[in-house]
Amino acid sequence: MKNIASQSKLPPGCIAFGRGASRSFVKQWLSFWSNVKNDFSFVLILAGSRTAELEGISAAGATSASRKFTAVADAELLLNGPGSHRKFALPPLDGGVSPALISYVSSRFIGVDPIVVSVGLPCLPEFPHLRLEPLVHGPANCVSTGKAMDQERVRSLWDRGFSIGRKLSRPLVLAECVPGGTTTAQAVLTGLGLSVSDLISGSSVEPPRDLKTIVVGRGLKSANFQGRISPYQLLAAIGDPFQPVAVGLLLGARQSGQQVVMAGGSQMVAVLAMALWDLNAEQRRDLVSRVVVGTTAWLATENSSSLKKVGNLELLLDRVGEYFGVNLLGLSTGLRFHTSTHKELRDYERGYVKEGVGAGALALLAQVNGISCNQLVDACDSAIEKLEGTFSEKSID
């Protein structure tokens, strides 16, 4: 990670990483986003994949049954807040609490009005949302089948995303909630020919890398690709519904000339890789001049090997950037929970949850717009006490 935070005046604790982390680019980004405040579109895409039903593949819900409703429950928390009645209870977790809590707190500080997109969910959300296809399509099949979706469905979702992105009149912050999504991210990056199994994170303390690699390997074997394939073929075989929508949205945002913060980690890097695959060299340079991956400190500093001098996400960004001949930039918030009065928040420091629902990017934008990490921590502590029926009192170790 480059030591440019102080020179470029990033807020305390924030980190710039990746080969695109030049002082001039970071300063340019800060100048733009510190003035945009609530004048941007925050799009949260909820999607489903039956990959999440595999035992041990995801910690975004302690059971496969609960993970079916994680995305809707997280969106309800983001939209309505912790003190409101919610139809869907937050899924039980092995540790931590939904990152939607961080997203809610951060969004309140900067006045964000989320736009929720629903695609491939097993149930119809009751809150306002944009539905891009009939509910009957449901979640994608498991990656291991090599037949996750029909190509026609992928093309339709890609086109719908592109149409939305091309009509954007404001900068975009793109977020997701897709249980099992790090596995589908690994799948498409591996399908591109990249070796990334040691760099993909997850919501558990120890991501199940061996299991993910087995599942991805089965999917690629079942897909049985022959010769040159298209992005549509790859996503149809081993992707999830979020990916084509997000790729199309990103490509459309480039055409409309918008700045983009991709909120998340490996799932957003996979989407960015797919978008770069669809562009020529000049178009790729144009895209990366407008795009930053915004994430949490927990993902930015995660390192699966003590021998590595840089974090997994930075290595992943650089690996994708090198593959496509561009330099990619990642930025993380400085938010940490060492001083939190709640164990569920301090669990983030132990490696639980890490990211999701745009938590890192929204906290970063809150900092860029003058909100301190102490304010964010205090507000998260207050919010967690309002979660109905979840925490009746302050937790202790």
pLDDT in tens, the chain (397 residues): 555 655 568 999 999 999 999 999 999 999 999 987 779 999 999 999 999 999 888 877 667 777 888 999 999 999 999 988 888 888 888 899 999 999 999 999 999 999 999 999 998 888 999 999 998 999 999 999 999 999 999 999 999 999 999 999 999 999 999 999 999 999 999 999 999 999 999 888 888 999 999 999 999 999 999 989 999 999 999 999 999 999 999 999 999 999 999 999 999 999 999 999 999 999 999 999 999 999 999 999 999 765 567 899 999 999 999 999 999 999 999 999 999 999 999 999 999 999 999 999 999 999 999 999 999 999 999 999 998 554 433 333 3
- Residue pair 75/182 in contact (Cβ under 8 Å)? The answer is no
Contacts of 126 (CB under 8 A, 6+ apart): 87
Pick from 346, 319, 330, 333: nearest CA to 373: 333
At 2 the pLDDT is: 55
- Distance between CA 336 and CA 325 in Å, rounded? 34
At 1 the pLDDT is: 56
CA 267 to chain centre: 6
At 188 the pLDDT is: 98
For residue 3, being part of any structural domain is answered with no
| Count of structural domains, the chain | 1
Strand ranges inside 26-171, DSSP E: 41-47, 115-119, 130-131
Residue 385 sits at φ, ψ, to 5 deg, of -70, -20
Strands 15-17 and 291-295, sheet pairing: unpaired
For residue 22, being part of any structural domain is answered with no
At 3 the pLDDT is: 54
Spatial strand order in the sheet of 291-295: 15-17, 330-332, 291-295, 260-263, 172-177, 41-47, 115-119, 130-131
For residue 17, being part of any structural domain is answered with no
- Distance between CA 338 and CA 349 in Å, rounded? 7
Show the domain range for 100. 32-385
- Residue pair 11/297 in contact (Cβ under 8 Å)? The answer is no
For residue 11, being part of any structural domain is answered with no
Residue 157: CATH number of its domain? 3.40.50.10210
Pick from 329, 381, 336, 385: nearest CA to 21: 329
For residue 74, being part of any structural domain is answered with yes
Residue carrying structure tokens 């589908």: 184
Pick from 65, 87, 66: nearest CA to 76: 87
At 290 the pLDDT is: 97
Q: Supply angle C-alpha 271, 4, 325, rounded to 5.
A: 40
For residue 19, being part of any structural domain is answered with no
Residue 42 sits at φ, ψ, to 5 deg, of -105, 110
pTM, entire model: 0.95
At 149 the pLDDT is: 98
For residue 282, being part of any structural domain is answered with yes
For residue 340, being part of any structural domain is answered with yes
